[in-house]
Structure 1
Amino acid sequence: MLREHTQVLVVGGGPTGLATALTLARRGVEVTVIDQAAHPPVTSRAAVVHAYTLEVLDRIGAAAPLVDQGVRAPRFTVRDRDRVLLAVPFDRLPSRFPYALLVSQAVTEAVLTGRLADLGVRVRRPCRLTALTRTADGVVAHLDGGEVRARYVVGADGMHSAVRREAGIGFSGPTHEESFVLADVRVRSALPRDEAALFLARSGPLIWAPLPDEVVRLVAAVPEAPSVPDVAYLQALLDERGPARRPDRVTEVLWGSRFRVHHRIADTFRRGPVLLAGDAGHVHSPAGGQGMNLGICDAVALGTAVADVLAGGPESLLDAYAAKQRPMAEDVLRFAAGLTRLAILPPSRRPARDLLLRAVGAVPPVRQRIALRLSGLVHREPTPARPVE
């Protein structure tokens, strides 16, 4: 049964909600997590956990078990068919995790769920939020299974967030949306199995990311994705955008789906006792693999701020969370949109683009800056200097 009272109600049982709850539970905060889906998804679109995100997960005890289940990729490449336009090295990152970890979002969720269960917290499913009512000391959450009073409510319930809607927070951005196809496949390929690649094609970008057990995640922007992409469809996609001299051959589709993405950001990440994190606050193109990573970083920052306030800290810590994470989200939206624009440049501008990328790739300091950008380490707070003794 659901508690009638909780300190924090987290709405959404994906990576963002789970990481928020785990951060709070490790601090001794009474937290309740609900999700409207009857079961956690076994398929998901995120497939990379970057270095900074692993550092953040390490703070809540979730990095090590996740690393054990992923593929460590020491570099990321940007390609035009057979040509490597830019190779971004991760093996020299100033981090305990000098790589991109290639692992399914479903595995990330399973690791976080397990860590939460160790602390006695389980996601309540299916449980849907229907309304929120502000009170003098917090919020009453109206659910399809009753009511819960909470000091704070965290909206980690995705792009169509009920929490955001009930709080009256706007979600602004362009009206157009991008259509994507994604699939986990088995392929015969000459591409490295420890490297993610972004193929730039006139028809749109294609992300090629190897996962454990010889599986490859494909994600591509397409005009209109089929609901269930088959071998023939994905093979045609690889023939059009992937390697040409030694083309990939799709041998099996493990699962496939489609999704649409807007580029939008919430007007604010806080309205009184209601706080937003992850896709409830920002959505954008999957180019660069930034979405889930930013959501997890939101989660740990938010969970830490809420725990500090409940331990006696000032409410201004929650404003500081919103003031820091929203500009970070704006930055990531611009970055992801820029990567997509690189892919869909008209043919007349592609030679100049390719020349520029190759020139950039020939300068080690520039390559390192791009690696820091992709890895998220540009958002890491600097370590305070030690006083001189």
Structure 2
Amino acid sequence: MPTIQPLPESTNVLIVGAGPAGLTAAITLAAAGVDFVLLDRLAEGANTSRAAVVHARTLEVLDELGATADLVARGLTVPRVTVHDRASTIATVDFDGLPTRYPFTLITPQDVTETVLLEHLRAAGGDVHRPYRVTELAGTADRVTVAYLDASDTPGTLRADYVIGADGMHSLVREQAGIAYIGGDYPESFILADVRMTWPVARREVALYLSPQGVSVVIPLPDGNRSNRYRVIATVDEAAPEPTARDIQTVLDARGPGGPVQITEVLWSSRFRVHHRLAEHYRAGRVLLVGDAAHVHSPAGGQGMNTGIQDAAALGPLLARVLAGEPEELLDTYEAARRPIARDVVALTDRITRVATLRSRPARTARNTALSALTRIPRIRHLMAYRLAELDAR
């Protein structure tokens, strides 16, 4: 149940947004004994799967917070990604040779990830205050005053030494701090759906399909004693607000492996548009950004939530050290370390998206030939897996 007690008048750190990044930041602060308040505008946490891929580097980071074992127990380990043009396999990227305790991609729906992180936060003595909507920030040299509305739209204010904006792509914290969000949008819309279906590809791989109509990704999801739950992501010119079984079936019939594919149930579906944007700065005085408030990009490679969790895990200890008396300039190292990583992720996912959505036959043929040739080289396959797993962000 959401926390319902009134907010305090002041705190060391206010975290706005209780998604995976906000929860991770809270866990790090709780572990360091820092006084914090975690707010979210929603009355309850995520109940849909949204981001579903947790990479090796994120599992390493969450292991330091004690959460990885619980995540792995509730997820599905997938050791490879395959790339196809209809029934033809163009490339295979294996994670099982990576230098990590977690040589796989973990498939864990976002609502499960948030549940695990919330359990660990509560075990550390913290919680989420819901629903509180931040409306304004006013900063001075030594604090930030935050205005908010509670569930009954009653206004209030809270003073904080520092504010972490973990409030997503449309971050009010970022806007109030005057930090530019630089980038653009892709023309296509995306189908995002969790379905039950018959699917001829092994559940030990994430399958990416390239076609003139667009790119499609099929990800096996944890399913208890059953084994027919999948995530489908696909670019289309204009997706329906809530894609139906027929919409998704049409996409997979046109682009998939050509084998026995039959959608039997849509568990949840949505559409979204993809942006590629990066905050000009990660810090403005006593305001700092993590996750989608700082960067957003194509879902290609499943990098978004992972990069956000790693942001938060890096920032929390820095804030704890500053609040314990170390120089405030230490916080400048956060942007110096994390923004280049996000910049590279935005660039990588942009390249993947643009190459994957090529339409002309000569360009697609050249792409397929080059990808097939490159991934026959063991070192190239290893580097691709290493990069996708975000192990280069260590």
Counterpart of 2:275? 262
Aligned-pair CA distance for 1:247? 3.7
Q: Which amino acid aligns with 1:316?
A: E
Change (3 A) 1:353 1:136: closer
CA contact (8 A) 1:204 1:340 kept: no
Counterpart of 2:144? 139
Counterpart of 2:61? 56
CA contact (8 A) 1:39 1:125 kept: yes
How far apart, CA to CA, are the structure 2 residues paired with 1:231 and 1:315?
Answer: 53
Task: Find out whether 1:219 has 2:233 as its counterpart.
Answer: yes
Task: Find out whether 1:90 has 2:95 as its counterpart.
Answer: yes
How far apart, CA to CA, are the structure 1 residues paired with 2:238 and 2:337?
Answer: 36
Aligned-pair CA distance for 1:131? 0.3
Change (3 A) 1:175 1:184: closer
CA contact (8 A) 1:288 1:336 kept: yes
CA contact (8 A) 1:86 1:357 kept: yes
Q: Which amino acid aligns with 2:302?
A: G
Candidates 330, 335, 338, aligned match of 2:348: 335
Counterpart of 1:384? none
CA contact (8 A) 1:177 1:263 kept: no
How far apart, CA to CA, are the structure 1 residues paired with 2:186 and 2:343?
Answer: 18
CA contact (8 A) 1:36 1:128 kept: yes
Aligned-pair CA distance for 1:354? 0.9
CA contact (8 A) 1:141 1:147 kept: yes
Q: Which amino acid aligns with 1:17?
A: G
| 1:176-235, Cα deviation, whole Å (9 max, x unpaired) | 554211010011111011211221122221111101113101111221111111111110
CA contact (8 A) 1:287 1:339 kept: yes
How far apart, CA to CA, are the structure 1 residues paired with 2:260 and 2:184?
Answer: 36
Contiguous gaps of at least 5 residues in structure 2: 1-5, 151-155
Change (3 A) 1:177 1:329: farther
Candidates 153, 160, 163, aligned match of 2:170: 160
Counterpart of 1:231? 245
| 1:226-253, Cα deviation, whole Å (9 max, x unpaired) | 1111111110011111111x14211111
How far apart, CA to CA, are the structure 2 residues paired with 1:193 and 1:255?
Answer: 20
Task: Find out whether 1:249 has 2:274 as its counterpart.
Answer: no
How far apart, CA to CA, are the structure 2 residues paired with 1:114 and 1:178?
Answer: 37
How far apart, CA to CA, are the structure 2 residues paired with 1:337 and 1:132?
Answer: 33
Counterpart of 2:3? none
Aligned-pair CA distance for 1:175? 5.1
Task: Find out whether 1:279 has 2:289 as its counterpart.
Answer: no
- Please say which of residues 154-163 and 259-268 is displaced more in the overlay: 259-268
Aligned-pair CA distance for 1:335? 0.7
Aligned-pair CA distance for 1:28? 0.7
CA contact (8 A) 2:218 2:231 kept: yes
CA contact (8 A) 2:16 2:22 kept: yes
Candidates 21, 28, 44, aligned match of 2:26: 21
Counterpart of 1:374? 388
TM-score of the superposed pair, with normalisation by structure 2: 0.94
Counterpart of 1:364? 378
| 1:322-367, Cα deviation, whole Å (9 max, x unpaired) | 1111111110011111111121222121111111111111110110
Q: Which amino acid aligns with 1:73?
A: V
CA contact (8 A) 2:300 2:349 kept: yes
Candidates 115, 119, 124, aligned match of 2:120: 115
How far apart, CA to CA, are the structure 2 residues paired with 1:291 and 1:184?
Answer: 19
How far apart, CA to CA, are the structure 1 residues paired with 2:14 and 2:99?
Answer: 36
Counterpart of 1:315? 328
Secondary structure at 2:74 match in 1: coil
TM-score of the superposed pair, with normalisation by structure 1: 0.95
Give the total of aligned pairs: 379
Change (3 A) 1:298 1:178: farther
1:72-91 equivalences in 2 (<5 Å): 72-91=77-96
Aligned-pair CA distance for 1:2? 0.8
Secondary structure at 1:262 match in 2: strand
Contiguous gaps of at least 5 residues in structure 1: 381-389
Counterpart of 1:36? 41
Secondary structure at 1:209 match in 2: strand
Change (3 A) 1:128 1:306: same
How far apart, CA to CA, are the structure 1 residues paired with 2:317 and 2:211?
Answer: 42
Task: Find out whether 1:299 has 2:317 as its counterpart.
Answer: no
Q: Which amino acid aligns with 2:345?
A: V
